Amino acid sequence: MVVEGFDLATGKTLWAYDAGPDAILPFQPPPLLGTYVVALPAPGGGMVALDLATGAHSPVPARAVAWCQPAVTYTAQVGWRDLNGQARYIRAGQPALQPCRATGATVATPKTVPGFVGTFVGTVVNGLTAWSESSRVVAAPLS
């Protein structure tokens, strides 16, 4: 899969990064490393930090904390009918945000969090950021 950055005025490709045959990328957002930086597979193995604004990329240290966006589902008491007429009760919620490795493996909540976590999906009050993980609400000071 090739990820590309475009000039919005002209449609011209500004940069391209070949992430390889990653089958999950179209269906789940990649781990976040910064406001415009995501973790993607490196061609020779490992992970790279790709700056979506510039196309610059560099290796991600194995112990780096990233932020994954797992899907959140819930069961509704009132169902809805799908195209086949079957009642469905499972609904999709907004994605959660939780600390992880660039590979997607979950990690413990860090003692402090980077500012982009608060501006991306959290709420920041007096230097404390609160955000929703897939099964709880968590808060930590900004780093």
At residue 116, φ and ψ (nearest 5 deg) are -65, -25
Closest by CA to 137, choosing from 104, 96, 108, is 96
Q: Is 120 helix (H, G, I), strand (E, B) or coil?
A: helix
Domain ranges of the chain: 2-141
pLDDT at 17: 94
pLDDT digits over 3-42, tens only?
999 999 999 999 999 988 876 777 888 999 998 999 998 8
DSSP string for 48-116: EEEETTT--EEEPPTT--EEE----EEEEEEEEE-TTS-EEEEEE-----EEE-TTS-B-PPPSSB-HH
pLDDT digits over 80-119, tens only?
899 999 999 998 887 788 999 998 898 998 899 888 887 7
Amino acid identity of residue 61, one-letter, is P
Which string of b and e fits 29-43 if b means at least 16 CB within 10 Å? ebbbbbeebbbbbbe
